[in-house]
């Protein structure tokens, strides 16, 4: 029993500790302890105790009456078990199956149908252009910042973005968010690509945020000229704690 409960423990130390506890409980051996007994046993060592347990006849087990398992309760689309957790026995075998059967996202161009989606007078017009540009195809992206190796949270994002696109015959781009060159290294770019392939996905395109720096700069200049933006030369220390109303 001790060995099964503590398989990692040193057997000699365990035996010494158990013998010590038995000695404290029953006291030292006497002459009577050395006389063999036909029935029962009076052991003060682990080996003797285990030998006696092996010689015992197994007792017949009484049949245990089976309790009727209560029917699981329905909670929306999920089946809630007696322990309060959802029943996942009929879950998806792959991430693609999960994204296809359980992730009920809006269709391409129907963003405005999502609860809380902010619309403007041009929303439907812009979404219509989006559908035309994409051909109505699902297009997602995985946008890591190449300043370190990926962790388990990134693996989840990779599977959701690539898996959802794959489940709906769409495309998923690998878009490097290389906006902080001081912390980025070439080895991180390579490691991220390797990890995406290792998880079984191939990006439709590999792009970089820095590819759009010139366009972003021109848009910023235009916003400043129109009075919708301004240049702030303050340092972080100057604005820390400043409450913007």
Q: Give the DSSP per-residue string, the chain.
A: -HHHH-TTS-HHHHHHHHHHHHHHHH-S--HHHHS--SSS----SHHHHHHHHHHSPPPPPPPPPPPPPPPPEEETTEEE-TTSSBP-TT--SSHHHHHHHT--PPPTT-GGGSTT----TTHHHHHHHHHHHHTT--EEEE---SSS---HHHHHHHHHHHHHHHHTT-EEEEEE----GGG--HHHHHHHHHHHHHTT---S-EEEGGGGHHHHHHHHHHHHHTTS-------HHHHTT----
Answer whether residue 146 is part of any domain: yes
Q: Which domain holds residue 35?
A: 2-55
Render each residue's pLDDT in the chain as its tens digit; 245 residues.
Answer: 666 777 777 777 778 788 877 877 777 777 666 666 655 555 555 566 666 666 666 666 666 655 555 454 444 455 566 666 656 666 678 888 888 888 888 889 988 888 888 899 999 999 999 999 999 999 999 999 999 999 999 999 999 999 999 999 999 999 999 999 899 999 999 999 999 999 999 999 999 999 999 999 999 999 999 999 999 898 888 888 777 66
Answer whether residue 40 is part of any domain: yes
Answer whether residue 74 is part of any domain: no
Answer whether residue 207 is part of any domain: yes
How many distinct structural domains can be found in the chain? 2
Answer whether residue 34 is part of any domain: yes
pLDDT at res. 75: 44
Answer whether residue 80 is part of any domain: no
- What token pair was written down for 234? 């303050």
pLDDT at res. 43: 57
Q: What's the CATH code of the domain at 145?
A: 3.40.50.620
């Amino acid at each position: 029993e001790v060995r099964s409960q503590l398989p990692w423990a040193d057997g000699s130390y365990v035996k010494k500790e158990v013998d010590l506890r038995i000695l404290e409980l029953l006291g030292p051996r006497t002459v009577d302890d050395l006389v063999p007994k036909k029935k029962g046993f009076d052991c003060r060592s682990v080996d003797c105790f285990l030998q006696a347990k092996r010689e015992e006849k197994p007792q017949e087990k009484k049949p245990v009456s089976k309790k009727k398992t209560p029917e699981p309760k329905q909670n929306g689309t999920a089946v809630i078990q007696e322990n309060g957790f959802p029943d996942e026995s009929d879950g998806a075998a792959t991430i693609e199956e999960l994204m296809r059967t359980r992730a009920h996202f809006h269709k391409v161009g129907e963003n405005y149908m999502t609860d809380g989606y902010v619309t403007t007078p041009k929303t439907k017009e812009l979404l219509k252009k989006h559908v035309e540009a994409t051909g109505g195809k699902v297009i997602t992206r995985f946008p890591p910042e190449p300043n370190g190796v990926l962790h388990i949270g990134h693996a989840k994002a990779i599977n959701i973005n690539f898996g959802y696109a794959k489940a709906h015959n769409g495309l998923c781009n690998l878009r490097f968010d290389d906006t902080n060159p001081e912390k980025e290294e070439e080895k991180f770019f390579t490691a991220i690509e390797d990890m995406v392939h290792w998880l079984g996905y191939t990006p439709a395109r590999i792009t970089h945020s820095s590819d759009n720096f010139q366009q972003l700069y021109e848009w910023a200049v235009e916003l400043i000229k129109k009075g919708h933006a301004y240049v702030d030369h303050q340092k972080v220390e100057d604005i820390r704690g400043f409450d913007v109303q």
